[in-house]
Structure 1
Amino acid sequence: MSYICNLLPMNNMPLRLLNRVLIYCSIIWSVSCSTPSGDLDLQAVQTALETPIDYGKDTAALEQQVGTLCRQAEEENDALLLWAYYLRMADGYSIAHDGVNDRSDAFFQEAQALAAEINRPALLLVTNIRNGYYLFTYRKISEAIPYFMYASTLLDESDLRQVPQLVRHMDYLARFFSYIGDHKRAVAAVERGLQFTSASSRQEAEMYNAMAVYLKRDNKPEEAVGYFSKALEVARQAKDTVWVGIVLGNLADMKYQNGEVEEAITDLKQNIAYSIQYGEHLDAMRALINLSEMYVNENRYVQAKDAVQQAIPYIEEKPYFLVYKLKVSKLLAKIAQYEGDWEVELAQLNRVVRLQEAIAKREDAEHLQRSYWRWKQERDQNALAAVADLKRRNQIYLRVGLFILFLMTVIGGLLIGRYRQRLRTRTLLLEKKRMEETLERQQMGEEIAVLRSSLDEFTNTLRINDLVIQKLKEENSTEKDNNFSESLENLLDSHLMTDTRWLKFKAIFDRVHHGYLAELKRQHPQLTENDLRIIALQKLELSNRSMGDILGISVDGVKKAKQRLKKKLDVDIYQDADVLERK
C-alpha cells in the first residue's frame, strides 16, 4: 500500500487504474480480517480525522505528512485508516486551492468507493456529509444538495454510535439546511447531535447555541431564548469564556428587542471583550456593530461612533461582508448627521445607495438561487423517497416471496416426508410379508419333510407287511393251523386301507405331492375315491398284488380297475408310460 500512497498524487491513468486494483485487493483483505461484530474502532478513526492538513499551498508537505496515514493503513492492513486518509487529503487540497478542485474531487471519489465497498452506512454517511460540506463551503450549492439529501436518508440506516465525529457532522448538515432555508431540518440535525455531546463541554454549548439560532430563524423566539440560556449555562460550566461571550451576544439582541436595553448593552460589551481577547474577530465585529446600532437608537452617538470605529478594521473585502459594510455606512451617516458633518453624511449616504444596489442584486440572485435550491432539494428528496419506497416494496416482495418459498419448502418437505414414511411403511410391510412367507415356506418345508418321512415310512411299512403277508400265505398253504390262519387274517385286516385310513393317507399324500390328487380330481371330476386310491398307491410304486392286499381285492380286480381308469382318462396320468401294466 505504500506503493499506492505514492501513486495517489499522480495523474497517470494506467497507474491510477493499477492503484484502484491494489486498493480493492487491500479492502477485501481488510474486510475479511475485520472483527465479526462489525464495530468501528471510533477512537482510531476519529484520531485519524484530526490529522493536521493546513499547509497552505504546500501540497508536497501535505502529501508527506498526511501520507503517514496511508503507510500506517498498509502496515496494519486497515481499510478504515485508508478511508480517513482519503478524506484528509480531500480537505487538505481544498485548503491549498482555496476552492473546489480536481484533486479533492478525486480523493472524495476514492473515499466514496471505499465506504461503499466496506458497506458501512456510518462511513457512507460521513463521506457524503463531508463531500457536500466541501462543495457548500465554496458555494457550489446545487452540487452539494444530492450529497446532503443522500446523507439524510442514511441517518435512519446508520448506528449513530458508530459515526465518527458525529456531532461535527450533524453541525455541518444543520448549517447547510439552514442556509437554504430549511430550518426544520437544521433543528432536527442538531437534535441528533446533541444526544452525543459531552456534558458541560464547548461542543454542547455550541450545539445548544446553534439550535437557538435555527429556531430564531424559524420564527420561534421563545424556544430560541430557552436554548440560548442552556448554551450560556453550559459554557459557564465548561468555563469557556469564548462561548460565554458568543451566547451573551446572541441573547443581547433578543433582550434589546424585549426592551432590556442596559442588560443587552452589558452582554454585548462582555461578548466583545471575550472575542477580542481570544481572537474571535468576526464575532467581535458583529457584536461591535450591534452595540453601535443600540447606542444610535438610544441617541448615544459618541459611544456609537467609538464602537463602529472599532468594528471597521475587522471588515474584509469579501462579498460576505457587504451587509456589514452597509450597516457601518448607515451608522456613520447617522453619526455624521448628529455631528453636523454634512459632507461625511452625504458620502456615507451615497455609499449606502451603492451597497444597497449591490446587495439587492445579490439578494435577488440569492433569492432566485434559494428558490432553485429548495426546488432541487424537494426534487432530490422526492427521488430519494421514490427510491426508498421502491426499495421497501422490493423488500416486501422479497419477504413475501421468501415466505412463500419457505411455505413451499415446508409443504414439500412434509409431502416428501409423508411419501418417504409411506414408502418405509410399504417396504416394512413387504419385508414383513416376505419374512412371513419365508417362515411359512420354512415351516411348510419342515412339515412337508415330516409328512414325506411319514409317507415314506408308511410306504415302507406297507411293503414290509406285503412281504410278511406273502410269506405267511405261502406257509399257510403247507400248514393247516387255525392260530396261524387267525394271525394272517389279523395282519390282513391291519394292512387293509379302510375309509378312515384312506382319508388320513390322502391328506398326507396331497401335502407331500402338492395337491396332486385334488388337482387331478379338479381336472377329471368323473374320478371316484377308489380311482384316486389306485392312482395314489400306484404313485408309491406298489405292485398290483400289494395294491390288491391293501384294497382288499384280487390282482385281477386291480388290473380291471386300471383298465377302467385308462378309459376314463384316455391319457396316461402317471410318470411312467407302462405304470398301469406293472405287476
Structure 2
Amino acid sequence: MLLKNKLLKPYLLNNYKRSFLVIFFLLFCGVNIFANTNSKLVNDFINENKEILEPATINKNYLRKTKTVKTHDRQVLQVVNKVLQAEAYSKNFDNINSESISLYLEALSEAEKINDENLLVYVNTQVGFFYYSYNEYIKAMPFFIKSSNLLDKSTIDNLIQPADVYKKNAYFFGSINQHQKSIDYLLKALKYTPSNDKLYATFLNNIGSSYYKMGALENARNYFIKAQKVSLENNFEVRYAKVLGDLALIHFDAKEYQKAITLLQQDIELSKKNKSDRNTMYAQILLSKVYVETNEFSKAKQTLALANEYVLSKEYLTSHAYEIAEVNLQIALKTNDTVLELQARRALDVLGADIVNKDGEEAIKLVGWETQKEQFNTKLEAEKAKVEQANLKVLIICGIVIFIIVVTIFIVRSIQFRFKNKEAQYENNILQYKINQLQSKSKLDDYDLTLKSYQTYLSDQNKQMDLIEQELDKLNTNTVSKDQAKLFLQELLDQQKMSGTNWLALKNTFLKEENDYYNALLENFPDLSELNLRIVILNKMDLKPAEIALVLNIKIDVVNNALQRLRKNFKGRFDKHSIN
C-alpha cells in the first residue's frame, strides 16, 4: 500500500500540474485559435497566376494544384483562385464589373468560414483595392478597415503577399489623408521587397509623397531622391519619370516654375515612351497648372486637351476630369474667356455631383471621417475587451487562490489526521509490544527454567525485537512523531537485549542440562573469549545467526565471522551439535 501511494502521488501531482498549465494557458492567453495557412504554397500559386488574364486558365491551374494538397490548403487555394479570377476580369474590363464583384464576395464569404486571419487580410485588401482602383473610396473603405484592423493586431505571421498587402493598404489610407499610417505600411512593405525590385523604388517614392502631403518637405525630398537613385540604378524608367513629377511638385510650391516645367516635360516624355498613359495624364495636368502660373495659357490649354483625351476614355477618372475643369476655369478667369468659363462651370456642376460619392474632396472627407470613426470604435472595443479580460483574469486568479487555499487546508488536515492515526497506531503497537514482552517473561517464569523454554522465550523475544526495530526506523524517518515515542521504543528494545543478569540465568540453566558439554568446552578450549563462548552456547541451542545477533546486541556480520573462525580453527574438535 505504501509503495502504491509513493507511485501514485507523483503521477497525480504531475496530472495536477498539467491541468493547471492547460487552464492557465487557455484562460490567460485569450487568443483566438486560427488554422495555419501554408503561406509559401499560397504565395507560389499567386505568383504563378497573377499575370494571367484568362480566368479559366487560373481555375485549371488551381484544380491541378489541389490534387496534391491537404484539405485546409485546398480551401485556402479555392479562395485565392477566386480572387485571382476576379482580378483577371477587372483587368480585362478595366472597370467595375459584376463578374469580379461576384467572385470577390464568394471568396470573402469562404475566407470568413475558414477563419484564417492571414487569408482575411489578403482577401479584404484585394476587394478593397478593386473598388479603390476605380475611385470608389466609400465602397472600398469597410474592406480596408477590416484588413487594417487585423494588420494592426500584430499577431499575424507569414502574411500572404506581405509587400502587396501593405502597399495597397498604404495607398488607400494615403488617399484619405491618413499619411502617417500610409508611411508605416510602406516602411513595412520595404522589408519584404528586394532593393533591385521595381516596387522598392515605388515604395520610396510613395513615402516621399506622403511626407509631401504632410508638409514635411525635407523628408519628402530625401525619399524622392532615394527613389530616383534606385530607379536609375535599375533602369526603372517609368518610376524615374514619376519621381521627376513629384520633385516638380516641390519646385512648383517654391514657385520655381521653370525647374518644375523641365522636370514635368521629362516625366511626360519618359511616360509616353513606356506607354504609361495614366502617369502621362498626371504630369500633363500638373504641367498645365504650372503654365497657368507662368501665364502661358495657350500651352496650358494644349496640355489639358491631351490629358482630357485619356480621361474621357476611362469612366472612373471623373475626379481628374473635374480637376481639368478647375484649371480651365482658372484660365478663363485670367483671360476673360466667357465661353470657356461657362463650359468649365457647367462641367464642374455635372462632374461635382458625380464625384461626391466616389473620390471627390467631399467623398474623401466622408471616408476619412468614417474610417477614423471605425478605427476609434475598434480601439474602444479592443480596450473594452482588455478590461473585460483583465477583470476575468482577476476573478480567475482569486478563484485559483481560494481553490489553492481550500486544497491546502484539506491537505494539511488530511496529513494531520493521518499522523494522528499513525501516532495512535504507534502507541497501540508500543503497548502491544510491552504486553508481548510481559507475556513472554510470564511464560518463562511459569515454567521450569529449561533450555527448551529459554529457546522458545528467546525466539519470541527476537520476533518482538525485529518488529520494534522496524517501528523505530519508521519513527526516525518521521519528523512529526514525538521524541517520547522514540525513547519508549528504544527503551523496550534495550530491555529485550540480553543483559548480564539474563545471561547468568541462561548460563545457569545451560549448566544444569549441558554441564558436561560446558566443562568440556572450558577444558578443551581455554582460549575461548566470553563472546565466543556465548555464541557457541546460543548456537548449541539452535538459534540462528540473526537471532544470536539480536540477543547479544551485535551485528550479524560479527556472529557469522565468529562462527566461520570457530569452524575453521576448531574443526573436528566439537561434536556435530557444537557449531552448526
Q: TM-score range by the shorter chain?
A: 0.5 to 0.7
Deviation at 1:250, TM superposition (A): 0.9
Deviation string, structure 1 residues 524-551 (Cα, Å, up to 9, x no partner): xxxxxxxxxxxxxxxxxxxxxxxxxxxx
SS at match of 2:263: helix
Deviation at 1:283, TM superposition (A): 0.7
SS at match of 1:227: helix
Find the counterpart in structure 1 of residue 380 from structure 2.
386
Cα separation, 2, equivalents of 1:70 and 1:139: 34
- 1:72 paired to 2:65: yes
Q: Work out whether residues 308 and 331 of structure 1, in 8 Å CA contact, stay in contact via their aligned partners in 2.
A: no
- 1:173 paired to 2:169: yes
- 1:353 paired to 2:353: no
Where in structure 2 are the equivalents of 1:395-544 lying within 5 Å? 395-453=389-447
Q: Work out whether residues 224 and 247 of structure 2, in 8 Å CA contact, stay in contact via their aligned partners in 1.
A: yes
Deviation string, structure 1 residues 204-246 (Cα, Å, up to 9, x no partner): 2211221222232333333322322222222223331211111
Find the counterpart in structure 2 of residue 128 from structure 1.
124
Calculate the aligned-residue CA RMSD, in Å: 3.6
Cα separation, 2, equivalents of 1:379 and 1:257: 33
Find the counterpart in structure 2 of residue 543 from structure 1.
none
Which of 1 and 2 has greater Rg?
1
Deviation at 1:436, TM superposition (A): 1.6
Structure 2 vs 1, CA of residues 103 and 386 (structure 1 numbering), >3 Å: closer, same or farther? same
Deviation at 1:443, TM superposition (A): 1.0
- 1:224 paired to 2:220: yes
Cα separation, 2, equivalents of 1:246 and 1:154: 32
Deviation string, structure 1 residues 266-286 (Cα, Å, up to 9, x no partner): 322221222112111111122
Structure 2 vs 1, CA of residues 67 and 414 (structure 1 numbering), >3 Å: closer, same or farther? farther
Cα separation, 1, equivalents of 2:435 and 2:193: 92
Structure 2 vs 1, CA of residues 68 and 363 (structure 1 numbering), >3 Å: closer, same or farther? closer
Cα separation, 2, equivalents of 1:385 and 1:37: 22
The worse-fitting range, judged by mean Cα deviation, of 134-143 and 397-406 is 134-143
Identity %: 18
Deviation string, structure 1 residues 111-130 (Cα, Å, up to 9, x no partner): 2221x1xx4x3333223323
Cα separation, 2, equivalents of 1:394 and 1:261: 59
- 1:50 paired to 2:47: yes
Find the counterpart in structure 1 of residue 274 from structure 2.
278
Deviation string, structure 1 residues 455-498 (Cα, Å, up to 9, x no partner): 9xxxxxxxxxxxxxxxxxxxxxxxxxxxxxxxxxxxxxxxxxxx
Cα separation, 2, equivalents of 1:232 and 1:91: 32
Deviation at 1:148, TM superposition (A): 2.4
Structure 2 vs 1, CA of residues 429 and 70 (structure 1 numbering), >3 Å: closer, same or farther? farther
Cα separation, 1, equivalents of 2:373 and 2:77: 31
Structure 1 counterpart of 2:79, which letter?
A: Y
TM-score, with structure 2 as normaliser: 0.61
Where does structure 2 lack aligned partners over 5 or more consecutive residues? 1-32, 91-95, 450-580
Cα separation, 2, equivalents of 1:346 and 1:37: 65
Q: Which of 97, 100, 124 lines up with 1:99 in the alignment?
A: 97
Deviation at 1:251, TM superposition (A): 0.5
Cα separation, 2, equivalents of 1:178 and 1:383: 21
Cα separation, 1, equivalents of 2:355 and 2:319: 12
Q: Which of 158, 180, 197 lines up with 1:201 in the alignment?
A: 197
Deviation string, structure 1 residues 553-583 (Cα, Å, up to 9, x no partner): xxxxxxxxxxxxxxxxxxxxxxxxxxxxxxx
Cα separation, 1, equivalents of 2:364 and 2:219: 26
Where in structure 2 are the equivalents of 1:99-118 lying within 5 Å? 99=97, 101-114=101-114, 116=115
Find the counterpart in structure 2 of residue 82 from structure 1.
75
Where in structure 2 are the equivalents of 1:184-333 lying within 5 Å? 184-299=180-295, 307-308=303-304, 310-317=306-313, 318=315, 319-323=318-322, 325-326=324-325, 329=328
Cα separation, 1, equivalents of 2:409 and 2:325: 86
Where in structure 2 are the equivalents of 1:152-167 lying within 5 Å? 152-159=148-155, 162-167=158-163
Structure 2 vs 1, CA of residues 304 and 145 (structure 1 numbering), >3 Å: closer, same or farther? closer
Structure 2 vs 1, CA of residues 305 and 394 (structure 1 numbering), >3 Å: closer, same or farther? closer
Cα separation, 1, equivalents of 2:319 and 2:375: 29
Deviation at 1:172, TM superposition (A): 1.6
Structure 2 vs 1, CA of residues 104 and 37 (structure 1 numbering), >3 Å: closer, same or farther? closer
SS at match of 1:49: helix
Structure 2 vs 1, CA of residues 87 and 356 (structure 1 numbering), >3 Å: closer, same or farther? same
Deviation at 1:170, TM superposition (A): 1.6
Structure 2 vs 1, CA of residues 262 and 220 (structure 1 numbering), >3 Å: closer, same or farther? same
Cα separation, 2, equivalents of 1:256 and 1:377: 31
Bigger RCO of structures 1 and 2 (CA < 8 A, at least 6 apart)? 2
The worse-fitting range, judged by mean Cα deviation, of 247-256 and 304-313 is 304-313
Deviation at 1:393, TM superposition (A): 1.8
Cα separation, 2, equivalents of 1:201 and 1:53: 17
Q: Work out whether residues 208 and 220 of structure 2, in 8 Å CA contact, stay in contact via their aligned partners in 1.
A: yes
